[in-house]
Amino acid sequence: MKRNPFAPTDFGADSLEVRVSELLVATSDQTDAELDAAIGEVLRLLRERLQMDVVFVSEFVNGRRVFRQVAQAPGVGVIAEGEGAWLEESWCQRVVDGRLPQYIADAKRDPAASPLLKDLPFPIGTHISTPLVLSSGEVYGTLCCFSFEAHGRPNPEDLAKLKLTARLAAQRLETRRQARPMPASVPDWTLKSR
């Protein structure tokens, strides 16, 4: 019998799935700071359990990919919260539109990923990424992680863990978005010539 890849692999109190659920399925009165702290803890857990060097949540804003939350191995500082780049140039967009697979065991050996490595300021070995999709179908951004070296024993089930986390994180991000009042009108800040 084939195992459902989305089913949790372990229901123990210390399992990744249980810890992520505990951190992200919180009451709706959670403050922004508490939600940010919970997502930060989830990213740290993912990084440790999936044995990655970098894990991040990105948001797609005005044609750019912006790093909203980042967890990196000690001594690693390859990306920073608030930084970003053009969306079209990112691996995140390539995953969302299908030009890159969500799970890349070894980027050097992947025909779609290997040509992109030369343009990066750091190496990528194993890369896992999945979209953060809101209930409206809008892609908020992505939940991504990567290691500098390819894992000796790749585990495609890690993608299922990332997808579960992305679904829960998207729900919490959407709840936060809905809790913030929208302005009655958006001011026009365009420059006008005289």
pLDDT, tens digit, 9 for 90 and up, residues 155-194:
888 999 899 889 888 887 787 676 655 444 445 555 555 5
Question: Which residues are registered as beta bridge partners of 139?
Answer: 133
Percent of the chain whose predicted confidence (pLDDT) is above 70: 74
CB proximity list for 149: less than 8 A, separation 6 or greater: 123, 125, 126
Residue 193 near residue 152, CB atoms below 8 Å: no
C-alpha to C-alpha distance for 141 and 96, rounded to whole angstroms: 9
What CATH class does 16-172 carry? alpha beta
Work out the angle at residue 24's Cα, subtended by the Cα atoms of residues 22 and 27, and round it to the nearest 5 degrees: 90
pTM of the entire predicted model: 0.77
Q: Which comes out higher in pLDDT, residue 3 or 80?
A: 80
Q: Is the pLDDT of residue 108 over 50?
A: yes
Largest Cα–Cα distance in the chain? 73
| pLDDT at residue number 169 | 83
Q: Which residues of 160-187 are buried (b: 16+ CB within 10 A; e: fewer)?
A: bbbbbbbebbbebbbeeeeeeeeeeeee
In the block, which residue shows the tokens 């990306």? 79
Per domain, the residue ranges of the chain are: 16-172
| pLDDT at residue number 21 | 55
